[in-house]
């Protein structure tokens, strides 16, 4: 991308702040797992939320540094889960989906039923992100090899999936290139 993705701008806010402000509406706690440029990210998030008078939102955020971030995204999920001990659900979210509307989150959390522990949005038969993960999967994920991934975890018999058919095409956002970024709506 030739830029630090979490601090890329979308509709007047950084990617990360777009997500934080939306997640504030549905989450009791927001765990931001950092790696590359951790201090810069934390400083910018705090500064911009203070400037926007989002002080209550700021109180919900917990910044966690993943010292193994170079080993991949799964290690960041493991690090975040290690801090989510009192949660019944986590919303595993990538930073490069700033375009998901607030209504998506409000609709998505209504899908959290006790007989499922993996809830994933689907649009036109294709699976997207973010994913809701239930508490009974936390230990399985935390104790898996850092080289693992959610695709492998999903094959475990403990995983009880629900696929939520939705009309949000933004569940496929994956901003990895300048072309992806310039194509954001």
Q: What is the pLDDT along the chain (185 residues), one digit of tens a residue?
A: 678 999 999 999 999 999 999 999 999 999 999 999 999 999 999 999 998 898 899 999 999 999 999 998 999 999 999 998 889 999 999 999 999 999 999 999 999 988 999 999 999 999 999 999 999 999 999 999 999 999 999 999 999 999 999 999 999 999 988 888 888 87
Helices (H) and strands (E) in the chain, counts: 8, 9
User: Which residues are within 8 A (CB) of 114 and not within 5 positions of it... i.e. 6 or more apart?
Assistant: none
Residue pair 6/15 in contact by the 8 Å Cβ criterion: yes
Q: Which domain holds residue 83?
A: 5-182
Residue 159: its pLDDT value, please? 97
Q: What is the CATH classification number for the domain harbouring 20? A: 3.90.550.10
Tokens of 108: 């998505």
Residue 177: its pLDDT value, please? 86
Alpha-carbon gap, residue 177 to 184, rounded angstroms: 11
Residue with tokens 């806010």: 13
| Whole-structure pTM value | 0.91
The dihedral through the CA atoms of 106, 108, 111, 116 has a sign that is negative
Residue 113: its pLDDT value, please? 83
| Domain count within the chain | 1
């Amino acid at each position: 991308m030739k830029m630090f993705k979490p601090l890329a701008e979308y509709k007047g806010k950084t990617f990360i702040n777009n997500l934080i402000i939306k997640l504030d509406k549905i989450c009791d706690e927001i765990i931001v797992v950092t790696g590359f440029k951790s201090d810069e990210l934390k400083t910018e998030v705090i500064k911009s939320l203070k400037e926007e008078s989002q002080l209550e939102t700021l109180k919900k955020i917990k910044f966690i540094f993943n010292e193994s971030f170079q080993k991949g995204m799964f290690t960041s999920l493991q690090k975040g889960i290690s801090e989510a001990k009192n949660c019944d659900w986590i919303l595993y979210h990538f930073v490069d989906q700033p375009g998901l509307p607030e209504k998506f989150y409000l609709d998505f959390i209504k899908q959290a039923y006790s007989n499922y522990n993996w809830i994933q949005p689907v649009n036109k038969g294709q699976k997207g992100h973010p994913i809701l993960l239930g508490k009974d999967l936390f230990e399985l994920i935390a104790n898996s090899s850092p080289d693992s991934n959610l695709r492998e975890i999903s094959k475990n018999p403990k995983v009880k999936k629900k696929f939520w058919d939705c009309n949000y095409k933004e569940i496929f956002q994956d901003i990895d290139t300048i072309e992806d970024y310039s194509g954001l709506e």
